[in-house]
Chains A and B, each alone.
Chain A
Amino acid sequence: MFLNFKQETELLFLDAERDISVDAHKKYHIVLSPSLYWVKREKLPLKYVHEAKKIAATLFEESLPEGEYSYFVTKEDEEFLLFAYSNRDILALLEAKGIALGSVSAVSFAQTACSADEPLRINDKEVMVRRDGVALSLPAAWYEDARALQKSDLQVSGQKITLEAFSHIVDKKLLYQAGFILLLLLLVVGVEYAYYQKELANLREQRAQIFASHHLKPTLMQNRAILQEYKKTAKEQIKLRKKLAGVLEENAKKAKRIKQIVYKDSKIKVDFEGGEILK
């Protein structure tokens, strides 16, 4: 293959005190140093991971510094491994290290992405040690002969977390509530929209029926013009009849004798004997 658009994914150990070089063209599977999260191994009277996740915040309540935390839970045999991490701090560290969020393909904990049993130096001051199955970060001074962590010590972990870029700006619970309300609103407005569309179609149908049943001309403008013509004719005919009625009444009373009546172009002219003219 001459062309390969798939970007390489590289495992990268992320620690605040560790120097790393980043290639903007690469994708990274980030492995979080134990100094970036808190972990607890607990035996809980629960069966499922999602049940444990619900109470994770309570279990960490006393042990975490003030701040916003997200939780991740996994089960090992009968025990639960509970992780607490700060989205905001990890995102800030990624930014400080020059790693764009778009370059991050996955994020795992060192707990699951590094299985080495021996102490491994992760920076000048700290060593990662596994105790009772939990990866811990301890002072380097305690393990002077520990070797440095290599890329080969890391492996892709199936247990990944998702960093929520806006979780520190908007409360997740609030976000879901807003989403639910918006969905409801969408449903209500959608139903209303459908109702009004039906009403519009009904009105159009009724209007078309009037046109058909009354044999109207195709446009309302044409029909208006015809109606105006009818109204004008009716007005003229009523006027003519009223005038003629008056004249004939006077003639009947013999008050005035008619000589000639002429009606033409909507104008009436009555000539009386004696020269009187009525227009």
Chain B
Amino acid sequence: MKRVNPLYIVLALFLLVVVLFVKLEALKEEIAEEKAAYLETKKTAEELLAYKKLFGNKNYSALKDPKVQLTQKGKHLHIESKSITLSALNSLMRKLLNGSYIIEKLRIEKIDDKHASVVVEVRL
């Protein structure tokens, strides 16, 4: 009885269909996960790009002023003036606050009605 019984072939086909169905369902789940990861990656990448544009490539030369002393210390820019007029201070602060500089330290102290001292540390 060497001929394979058709019932065995049908059973084998049925098993094959079941196995393929299970694999298909697993594949669909994998696609759903991959889609979610793709969307998250896309969103993260876009947000990162926006932040990099915001905080990166800044024009530090705009902060140059004869009344203040600018020194680079590692990854920080140190801006200091022992005595600055209020109008020059206002101009410096306007530039700092309107630009997307990352201010890490700030110290403004009134000397008299027209002068103040200022120390600012900006992250490069």
Interface mask (B30-46 → A, CB under 8 Å = 1, otherwise 0):
11001101101110110
The smallest C-beta distance from B51 to any residue of chain A, in angstroms, reads 4
Contact-residue size bin, chain B (C-beta under 8 Å from the other chain): 35 or more
A210-B45, A245-B97, A261-B106 known; A175-B38 Cβ under 8 A: no
Say yes or no: is B108 at the interface (Cβ < 8 Å to chain A): yes
Say yes or no: is A141 at the interface (Cβ < 8 Å to chain B): no
Say yes or no: is A182 at the interface (Cβ < 8 Å to chain B): yes
Residues of chain A in range 194-253 having any CB-CB distance to chain B below 8 Å: 196-197, 199-200, 203-204, 206-207, 210-211, 214, 216, 220, 223-224, 226-227, 230-231, 233-234, 237, 240-241, 244-245, 248
Q: Are B110 and A258 in contact (CB under 8 A)?
A: yes
The smallest C-beta distance from A132 to any residue of chain B, in angstroms, reads 32
Q: Are B10 and A214 in contact (CB under 8 A)?
A: no
CA distance A208 to B9 in the complex (A): 43
User: Inside 8 A of A258's CB, which chain B residues have their CB?
Assistant: 108, 110
Binding site for B on A (CB under 8 A): 101-102, 104-105, 162-166, 169-170, 172, 175-176, 178-179, 182-183, 185-186, 189-190, 192-193, 196-197, 199-200, 203-204, 206-207, 210-211, 214, 216, 220, 223-224, 226-227, 230-231, 233-234, 237, 240-241, 244-245, 248, 257-264
Identity of the chain A residue whose Cβ is nearest the Cβ of B42 in the assembled complex: A210
